[in-house]
Amino acid sequence: MRIFDPHIHMTSRTTDDYQAMYDAGVRALVEPSFWLGQPRTSPASFFDYFDALLGWEPFRAAQYGIAHHCTLALNPKEANDPRCVPVLDALPRYLVKDSVVAVGEIGYDSMTPAEDTALAAQLQLAADHELPALVHTPHRDKLAGLHRTLDVIRESHLSPERVLLDHLNETTVKDALDSGCWAGFSIYPDTKMDEDRMIAILRIHGTERILVNSAADWGRSDPLKTRKVGDAMLAAGFGDDDVDQVLWRNPVAFYGQSGRLQLGVAAPDPLHEGNSILRGGE
Ligand SMILES: [Zn+2]
């Protein structure tokens, strides 16, 4: 089983996770920029983080045979902090980098006017850079949040087939697919979506334009949830081709719209700017 995890925060994960993901079949992933779990206090903190997503993290992934790409943005939560908003002005110089395959994650957290402004501005940045967009839908008031998100997308210059709506569930899947956008589902250990509910959604809505991710980060999460969905699909009677479409071909087709996916992993360099993942010298 070949797996592309289209949304995972590897910065928060260990090298053991990389090994386990490779062993489970993960060969490519996309790491969206997001918040740290505590507020950043200046744009400089974002820039160091963006540089890590462009340099150190792909280097780490390559040690385990996994192709690493990222999406960059001012995340919805920190769009509300005036100290962080100047990040929007600096994004254009990051969005031209080779391994940036979308603008994201953007969208709504608490649906504030500041979030409206940041979402619209970053959809425009995606259009200007001919990149797709990864749009997070809120965890609270999901359907109202989705509708407000779709209104802003319709008013943007980005066409729906270039938008991936993420963190969907049973209440939002139909309207998301009807909009023409791609539909992403984050599978968590014991909250929100799980494997069985994902199977039920795939039975009703099929496998077109549907992506599954682990959204693993520093919180309670599981970087092998993509594989677990693949296994659950097979156990539920889906074929190998269905699994391959959801876990590989759909994310490749979506992020491939950037023109920047590089799925082959070259033999890794032993050092990144003089540093290795080995400790104590070897
Ligand atoms: Zn995320």
In the chain, what are the domain boundaries?
3-256
Is residue 68's pLDDT more than 60?
A: yes
How sure is the predictor about 281, in pLDDT bands with cuts at 50, 70 and 90? low
Distance from residue 105's CA to the centre of ligand 1 (Å): 7
Rounded distance from Cα 32 to ligand 1 centre (Å): 6
Query: Rounded to the nearest whole angstrom, what is the distance from the C-alpha of residue 282 to the centroid of ligand 1?
Result: 35
Q: Phi/psi at 135 (nearest 5 deg)?
A: -115, 115
What share of the chain in percent tops pLDDT 70? 99
77 Cα: distance to centroid of ligand 1 (angstroms): 12
Predicted pLDDT of residue 280 = 59
Q: For residues 159 and 143, what is the distance between their CA atoms, to the nearest angstrom?
A: 21
Mutual angle of helices 56-63 and 43-54, in 10-degree steps: 30
- 3-256 has which CATH code? 3.20.20.140
CA distances to 176, 226, 235 from 135, rounded to whole Å, are 11, 19, 31
Distance 230 CA to ligand 1 centre (A): 20
Instruction: Name 3's bridge partners.
Output: 26
Question: What are the tens digits of pLDDT across the range 194-227?
Answer: 999 999 999 999 999 999 999 999 999 999 999 9
CA of 217 to the centre of ligand 1 (A): 7
The DSSP bridge partners found for residue 114 are none
How far does residue 214's CA lie from ligand 1's centre (Å)?
A: 9
Is the pLDDT score of 73 beyond 70?
yes
DSSP string, 12-69: GS-HHHHHHHHHHTEEEEEEE----SS---SHHHHHHHHHHHHTHHHHHHHHTT-EEE
Tens digits of residue pLDDT in 233-251: 999 999 999 999 999 999 9
Selection from 63, 133, 138, 68 nearest residue 104 by Cα? 133
pLDDT digits (tens, 9 = 90+) for 7-58: 999 999 999 999 999 999 999 999 999 999 999 999 999 999 999 999 999 9
Distance of CA 206 from the midpoint of ligand 1 (Å): 24
Is residue 185 predicted with pLDDT exceeding 90? yes
**pLDDT of 274:** 82
CB under 8 A, 24+ apart: contacts of 192-200: 192/139, 192/167, 193/169, 195/225, 195/228, 195/229, 195/232, 196/232, 197/169, 197/170, 198/229, 198/232, 199/229, 199/232, 199/233, 199/236, 200/170
